[in-house]
Amino acid sequence: MGRALVLGGGGVTGVAWELGLLAGLAERGVALDEADLVVGTSAGSVVGAQVCSGVPLAQWYAAQLRPPREEVPARLGLGVLARWAWAGARGRDAARARVGALALAARTPSEESRRAVIAARLPVGGWPARRLLVTAVDAASGEFVVFDAAGGVSLVDAVGASCAVPGVWPPVTVGGRRYVDGGVRSPVNADLAQGCGQVVVLAPTRAAVGPMPRLSVQVAALRAAGARVAVVSPDRAARAAIGRNVLDPTRRAASARAGYAQAGAVADEVARVWRA
């Protein structure tokens, strides 16, 4: 059945926290980068591509501790969140389409400039040999989309789409369609690990708006199908390090260190599932 690593969304601080946690767990002998399947949503798509690259986790963690010169500061403000909540007060596809419409109408940086930022985060231009699923949402229809190596979409565009936070970053054009953040459907999308026997979920945020599938429901379904599942979210110290703006790159190093420190507290729980 295989082992799955599910990496949820959470902005630049979510990338940092996940990489810190992964590096800390690896040092304790819990090698989550050996997963048979990696599922990445938004920030998790960046980490997923890095995890599957073959580059040691310690190097990715060290990169998070350096000054974030390449990152563009942004804010997921209350106004954007309020519009998401308003748009989400409908059926699932309709809600996602309304969020997509907000994204299409928003004033954002250009697609080209954002693509350069995403490309700088990735280890290589192509898809890794390991199975990697990257989530996104069609901005026009609200359809949930999963990109992979077989789909003919470049890894940069797939990750860019998954990270296209509505109202903050531009939707990404792929094959004449435009796509936004996979977190519009679910901040984690853990149900894509269905069929795996061991699943570890790293969820920088569990928040779900309106009709979004709840992580607790996704995890219950995985367990009902026979999977062993461990879920890790930021502890109190990590939440303090992350702060209120997950798109603030100045919080990156502190978030990474907090994830690295938290690994010590969760290593045994995660190892029991991973080594089962």
Q: How far is CA 178 from CA 5, 110, 143, 166, in A?
A: 27, 13, 11, 12
Q: How far apart are CA 99 and CA 102, in angstroms?
A: 5
Which DSSP category does 179 fall into?
E
Specify the 3-state DSSP secondary structure of 248: coil
3-7 and 37-40 as β-strands: parallel, antiparallel, unpaired?
parallel
- Residue 148 among the catalytic residues: no
**Of residues 42, 45, 233, 255, which has the active-site annotation?**
42
**Of residues 138, 157, 181, 248, which has the active-site annotation?**
181
Rounded to 5°, angle at Cα 29 from 26 and 30:
65
Please classify residue 184 by burial: count the beta carbons closer than 10 Å to its beta carbon, then call 0-12 exposed, 13-18 middle and 19+ buried: buried
Cβ pair 3, 197 in contact under 8 A: yes
- Residue 42 among the catalytic residues: yes
The residue behind tokens 């997921």 is 76
Cβ pair 43, 10 in contact under 8 A: yes
Active-site positions?
42, 181
